[in-house]
Chains A and B, each alone.
Chain A
Amino acid sequence: MSVAVETLGGGRPGALTRLIRFARHHVLTVYALLAFAYLLVPIAIVVLFSFNDPKSRFNYVWEGFTLDNWRHWDAYPGLTDAMKISLEVAAISSAVATALGTLIALALVRYGFRGRGATNLFIFLPMSTPEIVLGASLLALFLNLQFATGFLTIVIAHIMFNVSYVVVTVKARLVGFDRHLEEAAMDLGANEWTTFRKVTLPLIAPGILAAALLAFALSVDDFVITFFNSGSTTTFPIFVWTAAARGAPPQVNVMGTMIFVVALSLMAVNILLQRRREGRTP
């Protein structure tokens, strides 16, 4: 419509039209900025309050800037230990879950086999079961088997709930995958394994990576299922939960910020490396 106005009027379009066009073109960008702000403001608060200097045990009101919390980030040994355990659990469980899940996704998307629909449904079930049910039922299992709850049970639980998410993420990537590329490779003489290695895998790698990162994030973050199956092992979220009730020290914010920065940097580096490998991203 604005095109018609332009050609009819002849010459340069009026300032108002230009403004409207500018706004319409950028309204989405403005929106995106606002949305990013919404997402990141709470994080900013977390980071900000890690520099807070509360007189009391409660870290709710801004009272003054200090670097002490960062200098003495390990002042609470319980907190540091909990963090370590969370990271270990996340590393192990995301690796295993990604492996298991990717295999399943490959099978589901590329092969027709008996029981495919049922398998799809089965994979979907853990995601449609509330965490609280997953946690409680696992606990029922461990209790009945007289299996002590602790680090190992946490890892087991995390692998369990992560598998489905990995499958869904990788599948979404696989479904849009162009098989012709593989066919072309095979026409050119590559066998199945080589095709997989050199054509398929690199192309679905972003999807697998995304799944692995999702699994890692879900694991570090998990509270409910872990809460039911941790025994006396304390992961970072569990520490925060119990600490929140009695006044979480600023070091909790310090830890939160540290994870955030590390994870963010890792992912950023990974993305930048990927771009360099691929050249211009399509």
Chain B
Amino acid sequence: MTDTFTRRELVERAALGGVVLSLPGILAACGGSEESSGGGGEKKLAKTLDVSNWQLYIDYDEKTKKYPSLEEFRRKTGVKVDYVEDITDNAIEFGKIQRPLSQGNSIGRDIIVLTDNTRFPGLLISKGWAEKLDKDAIPNIDNLQDALAHPGFDKNREYSLPWQSYLTGIATNTKLTGGKPVTSMEALLEDPKYKGKVTLLTEMADTIALVMQANGDDPTKVDDASFDKAIKRIKKAKDSGQIRQFTGNEYTGPLAKGDLACCLSWSGDVVQLTVSNKDLVWNLPDSGGDIATDNMLIPTGGDVFTASTFMNFVYDPKIAAQISVGCSYISPVKGIKDEAAKIDPKSVENPLIFPDEETLSNVVIFDAEAARNQDYIEKWQALLA
């Protein structure tokens, strides 16, 4: 599909002649920091694409130790993807990249992935550190699910496109819990059997949402009272030694090693971790979990055309299905059930990849305003300290 697209683009360019070619250049000169394709020149694909992403978030072949979809991208376009799983936490990632970005320097990445239930995608855009997508290179953008088409932080999807969506729930190492999965937040936070063998996530939205639901509050409408109540409950668990650590994506290590009885975890991770530890299971808490979406953004200095081409590639239903089934997360691309069935017929029934009504009714999206609230953020940081 990408082949026909590129050919179409070439034909278009030839038809419209040089005017179109120089338009981006003029716009770049007027518009400031847009470094789309070096103003006025032909759009060329770079030799490599540098992508930073979270752990266990793409299809991976254990035997060849390679990423099949990225290999396919290389076969189709000749672009080698330098894929690094170095994002563990939104705040840490943002803190790392804002330093060079604030100086106007590139961070050596073409695509980074940030979560929409934090303030960071919006912050990146509002500070002017995200490049505009080259939508001409992403006709597959029409495949984006309607529900994700107009998020608050990027109303017209000018700067970002979803990568995968995830659910936050509880991962259990059944070997340490007598064979039973842990299904209640109460057990996680207060059961002395698991003292010192529990971790929570450093992501405020994910952890607070689950604790608030366990308190009977509604995370879609956070107020001071319900926020403080959640904080208090977590603090109590922390002070009593129940909580071993607050982690970002790096809970995967201790979980696989068998240090943890149960922990808050992101839906698809456990599936890939069962290679390391067969006793791991994942489920939503009885009181409910949360759902959020990770977004691809192009930081300043990233190669917009190549990045956009890549985004278009992963929005192809066949590739989207391959990735989603491969990492057991929820694809933002609509209409991929048939492709998924071809890869693995059982995947269509898998609520982690295609959440059913029941699952969806059991998860919420964290209040976006609360995610940006400076006061809440400080209280949360104080809790982690």
Is there a contact between chains A and B in the complex with CB atoms less than 8 Å apart? yes
- Collect the chain A residues with CB atoms within 8 Å of residue B250's CB: 244-246
Are A245 and B257 in touch, CB under 8 angstroms? no
Q: Which residues of chain B are near A78, meaning CB under 8 Å?
A: 82, 84
Contact across chains for B253 and A143 when beta carbons are under 8 A apart: no
Chain A nearest CB, measured from B63 CB (Å): 11
- Among candidates B62, B99, B108, B252, residue contacting A139 with C-beta atoms closer than 8 Å: B99
Query: Smallest CB–CB gap between B48 and chain A, Å?
Result: 11
Residues of A within 8 A of B84 (CB): 78, 242
Q: In the complex, which of the residues A55, A231, A244, A246 contacts B105, with contact meaning CB atoms closer than 8 Å? A: A231
The contact of B88 among A58, A60, A61, A246, by CB within 8 Å, is: A246
> Which residues of A lie under 8 Å from residue B82 when comparing CB positions?
78
Nearest residue, chain A, Cβ from B255: A58
Given known contacts A148-B100, A148-B105, A149-B103, what 8 new A-B pairs fall within 8 Å (CB)?
A56-B256, A143-B99, A149-B105, A231-B99, A232-B107, A245-B248, A245-B250, A246-B55
A228-251: CB near B (< 8 Å → 1, else 0) gives 000110000000001011110000
In the complex, the answer to whether B249 meets A56 with C-beta atoms within 8 Å is no
Asked if A57 CB lies within 8 Å of chain B CBs, one says yes
* A7 on the B face (CB < 8 A): no
Q: A58-B253, A58-B256, A232-B108 are known contacts. Are A245 and B99 too (CB-CB below 8 A)?
A: no
A149 to B107, CA, bound (A): 10
A129 an interface residue at 8 Å Cβ cutoff?
no
How far is B104's CA from A28's CA once the two chains are assembled, in angstroms? 60
Taken together as a complex, chains A and B put the C-alpha atoms of A56 and B248 apart, in Å, by 20
Which A residues are CB-close (under 8 A) to B85? 246
The 5 closest A-B pairs by CB, nearest first: A232-B108, A56-B276, A245-B250, A242-B86, A246-B55
A57-B88 contact, Cβ under 8 Å, with A143-B99, A231-B100, A246-B249: no
- In residues 182-233 of chain B, which contact A (Cβ within 8 Å)? none
Instruction: Give the contacting residue for A149; candidates B100, B253, B257, B273; CB below 8 A.
Output: B100
B106 at the interface (CB under 8 A from A): yes
> Considering the chains assembled together, what is the distance between the CA atoms of A143 and B104 in angstroms?
10
Report how many residues on chain A are interfacial, defined by Cβ distance under 8 Å.
Answer: 19
A78–B50 Cα distance when bound, in Å, is 12
A40 to B106, CA, bound (A): 42
Report B245-264 CB contacts with A as 1/0, cut-off 8 Å.
00011101100110000000
Contact yes or no, B103 A148, CB < 8 A: yes
Task: Tell me if A128 is interfacial: C-beta within 8 Å of chain B.
Answer: no
Q: Which residues of B contact A148 (CB under 8 A)?
A: 100, 103, 105
Question: At the interface, yes or no: A191 with Cβ under 8 Å from chain B?
Answer: no
Give the contacts of A41-96 with B (CB-CB under 8 A).
55-58, 60-61, 78
Cβ-closest chain B residue relative to A142: B103
Does B275 lie at the interface of the complex (its beta carbon under 8 Å from any beta carbon of A)? yes
19 A-B pairs (CB sep. < 8 Å):
A55-B62, A56-B276, A58-B257, A60-B253, A78-B82, A78-B84, A139-B99, A143-B103, A146-B103, A148-B103, A149-B105, A231-B99, A231-B105, A242-B84, A245-B86, A246-B55, A246-B86, A246-B249, A246-B250
Q: How far is the CB of A89 from chain B (nearest CB, A)?
A: 17
| Total count of chain B residues near the partner, CB < 8 A | 26
Partner pick for A60 among B106, B249, B257, CB 8 A cutoff: B257
Q: Which residues of A, 122-143, contact B by the 8 Å Cβ criterion? A: 139, 143
Q: A241 — nearest CB in chain B belongs to which residue? A: B86
B88 touches A245 (CB 8 A): yes
Give chain B interface residues in 66-94, CB to chain A under 8 Å. 82, 84-86, 88
| Contact of A232 with B100 at beta-carbon distance under 8 Å, contacts A148-B105, A246-B85, A246-B249 already known | yes
The chain B residue with its CB closest to the CB of A227 is B96
Q: Is B102's beta carbon under 8 Å from chain A?
A: yes
Shortest A55–chain B CB gap in Å is 6
- Docked CA distance A148–B108 (Å): 13
Report B-chain residues with C-beta under 8 Å of the C-beta of A139.
Answer: 99
With both chains docked as a complex, state the minimum distance between the C-beta of B223 and any C-beta of chain A, in angstroms.
Answer: 34
Chain A contacts with B in 84-128, Cβ cutoff 8 A: none
Q: Assess A61 versus B257: contact at CB under 8 Å? Given A245-B250, A246-B88.
A: yes
Q: Which of B55, B105, B275 contacts A56 (CB 8 A)?
A: B275
Q: Contacts of B248 on A, CB cut-off 8 Å?
A: 245
Collect the chain A residues with CB atoms within 8 Å of residue B107's CB: 231-232
